[in-house]
Chain A
Amino acid sequence: AQTVTQSQPEMSVQEAETVTLSCTYDTSESNYYLFWYKQPPSRQMILVIRQEAYKQQNATENRFSVNFQKAAKSFSLKISDSQLGDTAMYFCAFISGPNDMRFGAGTRLTVKP
């Protein structure tokens, strides 16, 4: 079974600081994709960053970057220069086909001024 685990239910960070959210997953597939989604309070979920498993280079999107460790099945999200608008639930997700996206339980991130 494919599972996604986020071991940090809640985290907080001071504005302008850096924070890392953890995610581990379990799969027997060799080709898959990993994502981080952001769900702001009462707003819809949006894709933050994605990583294809066959690419060794870690993905980066502006202030967001990932540390993808395939052998360890680890996929952490680093947010640099945290902003108040980064306050949200963050979900790690995994997919290996069109219909089996699996999400972790989420990490609630609060950016403090």
Chain B
Amino acid sequence: DTGVSQDPRHKITKRGQNVTFRCDPISEHNRLYWYRQTLGQGPEFLTYFQNEAQLEKSRLLSDRFSAERPKGSFSTLEIQRTEQGDSAMYLCASSRTSGRFDEQFFGPGTRLTVL
């Protein structure tokens, strides 16, 4: 399978714990995006990378959130001191810069539940 993969698919944690999610994009894709999707809503943009550079962060990304893409391949999203409001589906997407329009391919998501 050469699509976008995410690990883990589900994570249950207690409030105050740290969690880390991983995203492996499609191999030739240079752009990688993180989104958050809460129940009954569409995905909301969090941040994106072009290669290893983090070019944009949404105001939704509080100081407790950090994302990295150290070698321009896989990416990690860490949430420190989790809160119940962090419970959501975290989606990763990747794309290849090809001009005016980049189709984003989405992974299956990581569902986070904070107890």
> What is A's interface to B at a CB cutoff of 8 Å?
4, 9, 33, 37, 43-47, 50, 52, 91, 93, 98-106
Contact = CB atoms under 8 A, between A and B. Distances in A.
B42 A103 contact: yes
Contacts of A37: 106
Given A43-B108, A44-B108, A98-B102, A103 B44 contact: yes
Contacts of A50: 101, 103
Interface residues of B, number: 26
B40 A52 contact: no
B107 A98 contact: no
B31 interface: yes
Contacts, number: 52
B17 to A, nearest CB: 25
8 contacts: A43-B108, A45-B91, A45-B106, A47-B105, A91-B43, A93-B42, A99-B56, A106-B41
Contacts of A91: 42-43
Given A33-B101, A105-B40, A106-B40, A99 B45 contact: yes
Given A50-B103, A52-B101, A99-B55, A44 B42 contact: no
A99 B104 CA distance: 11
A102 B37 CA distance: 12
A91 to B, nearest CB: 5
Interface string B69-98: 000000000000000000000010000010
